[in-house]
Amino acid sequence: MKTFKLENEPKIKTGFKSPDHYFDDFSAKVFQQINERDAKVIPIYKRKQLMTMIAAAVIVIALMIPIVNNYNKSRELDEATLETYLTYQSNINQYDLIRELDTKDIEAINKNVVLEQETLEDVLSSSPNIENLISE
């Protein structure tokens, strides 16, 4: 193998040239341009404060989403909707409903229901299954 000596080999020109006397007063030109330019400085502590406020707002909004959803869904059912639902559910019978009633519910039912003697007689006389009604 032939020995390679860097000092003796011909050099290839790079193709990049700097203008004549460019670096003589380069530092003076750079300092002059720096002094002319007014850079707007944003302090780091204000940027952190802004980011903290944005993060807090995102967290508050994220925590409010489930609350708003639950608030919109919690509407009371009217009696007709509840009665229709219970009527068409074939797997629920009267004994299941009675078992779920509390004493407060039973007292509320007794206060709301007022039977007159005439109404009771009309129902019993018009019903063909009077024996089933009496046994229940």
- CB-CB contact of 130 with 124 (8 Å): yes
Whether the predicted pLDDT of 136 surpasses 80: no
Answer with the residue of higher pLDDT: 120 or 59: 59
- CB-CB contact of 29 with 36 (8 Å): no
Q: Coil, strand or helix: which one is 32?
A: helix
pLDDT tens-digit map of 25-72:
888 888 888 777 666 777 767 777 888 889 999 999 999 888 887 776
pTM of the predicted model, to two decimals?
0.26
Each domain of the chain, given as residue ranges in start order, spans: 79-135
Q: Which two tokens stand for residue 132?
A: 């089933």
AA letter at 92? I
pLDDT, position 133: 63
Residue with structure tokens 């300092």? 31
Q: Which two tokens stand for residue 78?
A: 């009217």
Neighbours of 61 (CB within 10 A): 9
What mean pLDDT is predicted for residues 98-111?
82
Is the Cα torsion angle 89, 94, 99, 101 positive or negative in sign? positive
In terms of Cα–Cα distance, which of 48, 47, 26, 28 is closest to 36? 28
